[in-house]
Structure 1
């Protein structure tokens, strides 16, 4: 069932640990996967033909395939079937996947650094802090306009890694995501800490003790524990913090909704989609209608809600369908029906 709801009060509580990593991939036996599954369940899940564990992120490859980062493997969906592309890697907890502009495939894990499959190859290179990358844990992958690949506050420039810390002027050592906007500003979200911005036009190359700006609302409060940041087609910055969904037009911060905004995307029609906590702790996939985005109470359509678990990152695929991760796999919404690939049930 779908229902239209005005903005609602929510409490956004969703905690994990965060940190930040060349060698051929060794066969590993990492058990710090935080999946809550027994070893036998892990083996069963790893052998599944579809993602059945927590899906943190969903992306699209250049050829249109859907890339799915789940706790127990990274999958590729070609429109017909799923393939676990990490079946030779044992038990890292995967959070993100990205195909960069050169066709390299990057994987981020919470407990075993990062992996790269070079374009045209089938094997992975493994990077950890011991290899000089500075990365033990990565929750987010981002490619900036210069082609640098970021994992939180660690940056790969095509040759080497560099990890930035408070010694380089960063306000936090717990960076988990970033966005480069159209003006070149870098927006950083930190685990349990304030969001901040770096303007290279004013400060030059990042690091070396340069100045970062912690932005604040009209009450003088900083935005804390930001999980998602996007820029819409008009140049507005949207993000979610402990107080809901926000929009920044370059001058004013507007609290659009008190509904949770763990993940945010803008679709091709200009609608804003979010996942997050609503009501008394349940999670929902919500769509904010583009025609009412600037109204005091924008129209919100709740596409799917659950009382237990969580709904996570969102993707609009090339065909306009909406993909989103959950605690137990991945879902697709085609505008009419929701497909749960794990149970193969279609919900009206």
Structure 2
């Protein structure tokens, strides 16, 4: 297990003006002063922030991060709605703009450029000018949208995961004013923890109580859904983070670690578990992201781990464990890699980036 430590603050200043290139598969990061401070546009007062909230932060709590087709970054927060960063401005959308709910768990963009936001009061669609809310009146009977649970698939279908099942959006019904969200009855009622589409067009649903479900739209209705749970070899019925690597393996986070699923292997050998015994840091594992280089980042209570799956195990060099001593608050709630290869971490104490060796905080004025 490797851990970075720096004993002199001058190290951070030496990084200013440099470009940290990718090294050993780490994400490329630009200099901390490469972009000017954006103009902050905000015409409301947030409700629900801690009394000692640092107003220099972009926000205190981050639940979701997304980059749209124009390159804008969107940050879903708790108490401050959704925030858009376009390099020139940092714009906060909330009540005055028609975005009534201030907690955003999921963000995505459809093929027409509309932005979709999942909250604990249903779904919002933003067309660049106005927000529209979808709730029970639109067929969305469960309003609590889960984190990472709005998917726009390759065909343009919109899937929404809630604490009470999966819903699909029907744009034709919406255009006629009819109920436009319907429960996907092929799937069980479950607490959705994430949705993604794999390279073959299968839709994957991670749940916090029933394992993982794979939906194959090319199959007949009775054969379209496959459940991978504890009895099939998945380490637990709890699955949080979900991602696919370049080789086609699926990766899931579990309460006690992460699990790799390789459907090409023989039955009984399709699942491989990785836990603290192998080198993962922390306890109660939450999120997982696979960066473009193939490196896997795993968040947990107390630590964030960088895992290089190309290193044969057992080998401590495969795992690098970062704790708050390395600059990152331990309560990571969202991770995202943008189109330039930079990875963003949203935590319970603000927004962070990684300079190749340690983490630094991004505030309203930067460094972006």
Q: TM-score, normalised by structure 2?
A: 0.70
RMSD: 3.2
Q: Distance in 1 between matches of 2:73 and 2:323?
A: 21
Aligned pairs for 1:48-63 within 5 A: 50-63=57-70
Which entry has the higher C-alpha Rg, 1 or 2?
2
In 1, the alpha carbon distance for the partners of 2:225 and 2:197 equals 14
For the pair 1:322 / 2:343, whether they are aligned, the reply is yes
Contact residue 271 and residue 287 of structure 1 kept, 8 A = yes
Q: Which SS does the other structure have where 2:310 is aligned?
A: helix
Distance verdict in 2 for CA 1:143–1:297, change over 3 Å: farther
Give the secondary-structure state (helix, strand or coil) at the position aligned to 1:227: coil
Describe how 1:237-252 pairs up with structure 2 within 5 A: 237-250=250-263, 251=265, 252=270
The answer to whether structure 1 residue 295 and structure 2 residue 295 are counterparts is no
- 1:81 deviation in Å? 4.6
Shift in Å at residue 183 of structure 1? 2.5
**Which ranges of structure 1 fall in alignment gaps of 5 or more residues?**
5-30
Q: Which whole-Å CA distance do the structure 2 matches of 1:97 and 1:186 have between them?
A: 17
- 1:75 and 2:83 aligned: yes
- Give the C-alpha shift of residue 171 in structure 1: 2.7
Partner of 1:184: 201
Match of 2:245 in 1: 232
| 1:137 aligned partner | 144
1:17 aligned partner: none
Partner-residue secondary structure (3-state), 2:352: strand
Verify: 1:98 aligned to 2:122, yes or no. no
Structure 1 distance, partners of 2:365, 2:310, is: 34
Aligned residues of 2:139 and 2:182 also touching (Cα < 8 A): no
Structure 2: give runs of 5+ residues left out of the alignment.
5-45, 174-179
Q: Distance in 1 between matches of 2:235 and 2:226?
A: 10
Within 5 Å, give how 1:1-348 maps onto structure 2.
3=3, 37=49, 50-72=57-79, 73-79=81-87, 81-86=89-94, 88=96, 89-110=99-120, 112-118=121-127, 121-139=128-146, 140-152=149-161, 153-160=166-173, 161-164=180-183, 168-204=185-221, 212-216=225-229, 220=233, 223-250=236-263, 251=265, 252-258=270-276, 259=280, 260-277=284-301, 282=302, 284-292=303-311, 294-297=312-315, 299-305=318-324, 310-342=331-363
Shift of 1:324: 0.9
CA distance 1:199–1:108, change in 2 (3 Å): same
Give yes or no for contact 1:238–1:246 (8 Å, CA) kept in 2. yes
Distance 2:364 2:207 in 1: 35
Residue 13 (structure 1) aligns with: none
For residues 249 and 159 of structure 1, do their structure 2 counterparts lie closer, same or farther at Cα, with a shift above 3 Å needed?
A: same
Number of residue equivalences: 296
Change (3 A) 1:297 1:94: same
Q: 1:297 to 1:149 in 2, by over 3 A?
A: farther
> Residues 235 and 270 (structure 1 numbering): CA distance in 2 closer, same or farther, change over 3 Å?
same
